[in-house]
Amino acid sequence: MFRSPVPCDRNSPQSGDWSDHLDDMTTIWLQRKWGVEFAPNTVGKAVEVLARGKRFHPVREALEGLKPWDGTRRNTEWLSDYLGVEKSKYTELVGAFFLRGMIKRVMEPGCKFDYCMVLEGPQGKGKSTVARILSWHWFCDTDLDLNNKDSLLALPGHWVYEIAELGSLMKAEERKQKSFLSRQEDEYRPPYGKRLIKVPRQSVFIGTTNEEEYLKDATGGRRFWPVVCGDEINLDGLRNSLEQMFAEALADYRAGERCWPSGAEQDELFTPEQAKRGMSEPFEDILWKWVENQMSPFSMADAAVDGLKLTPDKLTPAIVTRLGIALRKLGCGRKEDRNAEDPSKRRLYLTPAMVRREMRGAPASAAVPRPSAGIGGIDVPF
């Protein structure tokens, strides 16, 4: 890009992206002004060589030019304040972590930040505009074809990349989803280039969708941070607060604050939200009826063999993974029994009722009172 008016164009703006058209205009200007003749291709290469000697980072410059943070915390509240997201500890962390991740990506190109915030809600409510505002001019929403390396050419130069309706990302195999989001650098051959280049990734991803169930895989699902937007999105409020939001995130980055959940936060806050977005399994209703009747913690094998009537030879890793997702989606918790002699009994699951009792301080396996029976075994109503 150029940062001052170009001499070959009287109507040139103060700054903008260099184009093939400017190669042609510069060629003509050189001929008229200096009487020298070069091919436009040669002029374009010369401009690129000179530009590489005067590199700058527009996003970093913009961040460094911000007014200092005023000390008011906004980044744990912006999702609820401007997007109408129901406030919770989870949404507070998502809001703060994502903005810190944006800062870290441009300050440390290629750093590890393999998360995608997903804005859920009906179409036409402004979710895509939110992504565009957050990009601060460096935005892209072209469709990404994960099977085509040329699609990676769209990433450089864009801070926020919107994956509209989660498009090709959800259509791709889980393996490719994970690989794409976790990649720290992209390798491709630029147009007309002779050699492959490796470009450290500086983009972050925002998905938008009006679906409620879209995550296929347990391990891949941890990369998605879903939030449900309200009916009214305050776009002007977001625009007006954006500079101080970035100033706060920059201050947090410099202070070494995290932009990812801890293990406990992942298990207690993030995984339950991700599990809700898991695609429904055909056996969930049967499993739920069995879970409701359990009086003590149970193992995965118990749920599979007793609950779903599967034979042990059917317990493949894929089935175990799907069953684990379904149990978490039903609200079951987990606990470790290190004293169990049978390894399959060491990791136990708690029913939702047991989880609630543990939160109140009562043992998970505490006896659950049953209705008393009257004469002849007939239940007596309260």
pLDDT value of position 379: 37
Domain that holds residue 298: 284-359
Whether the predicted pLDDT of 378 surpasses 50? no
Q: What is the CATH number of the domain that holds 298?
A: 1.10.10
Domain match, 92 and 51 both: no
Which residue would you say has higher pLDDT here, 272 or 129?
Answer: 129
Domain match, 131 and 241 both: yes
Residue 27 · residue 44 · CB < 8 Å: no
Query: Could you tell me which residues come within 8 angstroms of residue 166 by beta carbon, excluding any fewer than 6 positions away?
Result: 118, 207, 208, 209, 211, 214
Distance between CA 287 and CA 329 in Å, rounded? 11
What's the pLDDT tens digit per position in 216-252? 765 568 999 999 999 999 999 999 999 999 999 999 9
Chosen domain end from 36, 55, 74: 55
Domain match, 326 and 341 both: yes
Whether the predicted pLDDT of 370 surpasses 70? no
Distance between CA 287 and CA 48 in Å, rounded? 62
pLDDT band at 364; cut points 50, 70, 90: low
pLDDT value of position 112: 96
Q: Averaging pLDDT over each range in 103-117, 169-183, 346-360, which range is the top one? A: 103-117
Q: Is the dihedral of CA 154, 160, 163, 168 positive or negative?
A: positive
Domain match, 232 and 202 both: yes
Domain tally for the chain?
A: 3
The amino acid present at 88, given as its one-letter code, is S
Whether the predicted pLDDT of 28 surpasses 80? yes
Residue 24 · residue 40 · CB < 8 Å: yes
pLDDT band at 134; cut points 50, 70, 90: very high
Please give the full DSSP string across 44-78, using - where no structure is assigned. HHHHHHHHHTT---HHHHHHHTSPPP-S---TTTH
Distance between CA 382 and CA 365 in Å, rounded? 25
The first and second tokens of residue 144, run together, are: 């990404």
Domain match, 205 and 304 both: no
Distance between CA 310 and CA 301 in Å, rounded? 9
Whether the predicted pLDDT of 132 surpasses 80? yes
Residues of the chain with pLDDT > 90, as a percent, come to 57
Whether the predicted pLDDT of 172 surpasses 90? no
| Helices first, then strands: H and E counts in the chain | 16, 10
Q: CA 145 → CA 116, 132, 180, 182, 241, distances in Å? A: 17, 21, 11, 16, 34
pLDDT band at 160; cut points 50, 70, 90: very high
Domain match, 294 and 272 both: no
Distance between CA 349 and CA 331 in Å, rounded? 10
Whole-prediction pTM value?
0.74
pLDDT value of position 322: 83
In a domain, 26, yes or no: yes
pLDDT value of position 120: 97
pLDDT value of position 377: 36
Domain match, 196 and 212 both: yes
DSSP-based three-state secondary structure for 126: coil
Q: What is the CATH number of the domain that holds 118?
A: 3.40.50.300
What's the pLDDT tens digit per position in 300-312? 999 999 999 999 8
Report the pLDDT averaged over residues 78-85. Answer: 98
Per-chain mean pLDDT for the chain: 88
In a domain, 367, yes or no: no
pLDDT value of position 365: 54
In a domain, 165, yes or no: yes
Domain match, 33 and 105 both: no
Which residue would you say has higher pLDDT here, 192 or 119?
Answer: 119
pLDDT value of position 317: 85
pLDDT value of position 345: 61
**How many other CB atoms are there within 10 angstroms of residue 210's CB atom?**
13
Domain match, 45 and 94 both: no
In a domain, 366, yes or no: no
Domain match, 83 and 167 both: yes
Domain match, 240 and 289 both: no
The first and second tokens of residue 19, run together, are: 């184009």
pLDDT value of position 13: 85
Domain match, 289 and 260 both: no
Report the pLDDT averaged over residues 135-145. Answer: 91
Which residues in 123-135 are b (16+ Cβ under 10 Å) and which e?
eebbbbebbbbbb
Whether the predicted pLDDT of 368 surpasses 50? no
pLDDT band at 18; cut points 50, 70, 90: confident
Chosen domain end from 35, 55, 75: 55
pLDDT value of position 246: 99
In a domain, 380, yes or no: no
In a domain, 382, yes or no: no
The CA angle 330-205-147, to the nearest 5 degrees, is: 95
Report the pLDDT averaged over residues 337-359. Answer: 79
pLDDT value of position 219: 56
The amino acid present at 330, given as its one-letter code, is L
Burial class (CB in 10 A: 0-12, 13-18, 19+), 88: middle
Distance of CA 290 to the CA centre of its chain: 34
Distance between CA 94 and CA 217 in Å, rounded? 20
Distance between CA 297 and CA 354 in Å, rounded? 8
Chosen domain end from 276, 293, 317: 276
In a domain, 166, yes or no: yes
